[in-house]
Amino acid sequence: MPETMGCQLWGIMGKFLVYETLTPHELDAMKRRLFGYLDVIKDIGYDISAIQMIKDADTLRSVINEMTPDQLGEIFYKSKWVD
């Protein structure tokens, strides 16, 4: 089942934005979101292997800091499966 923008991802995003510690499961949820939007991630030079190399929240922040606001909106605020 594809991950959608449900309460779980919003809660994880909240923890991520205020620099709270993410569990490995929560970090995986963020990475799954990136996998779902490979077309956007490729625009900043990342591919599947680069996403797999993300092992902690600091590395994830580095990837997200390279994105434009439009790219972030595409990945985290717009659902690919439900408009």
- The DSSP secondary structure of 7-70, one letter per residue, reads HHHHHHHHHHHTTPPPPHHHHHHHHHHHHHTHHHHGGGT--HHHHHT--SHHHHHHHHHTS-HH
pTM value surpassing 0.85: no
65-80: pLDDT as tens digits:
888 888 888 887 765 5
Long-range contacts: 17-26, Cβ < 8 Å, 24+? 19/57, 21/57, 22/57
Residue 54 has pLDDT above 90, yes or no: yes
pLDDT of residue 69: 87
Q: Are 46 and 76 in contact (CB under 8 A)?
A: no
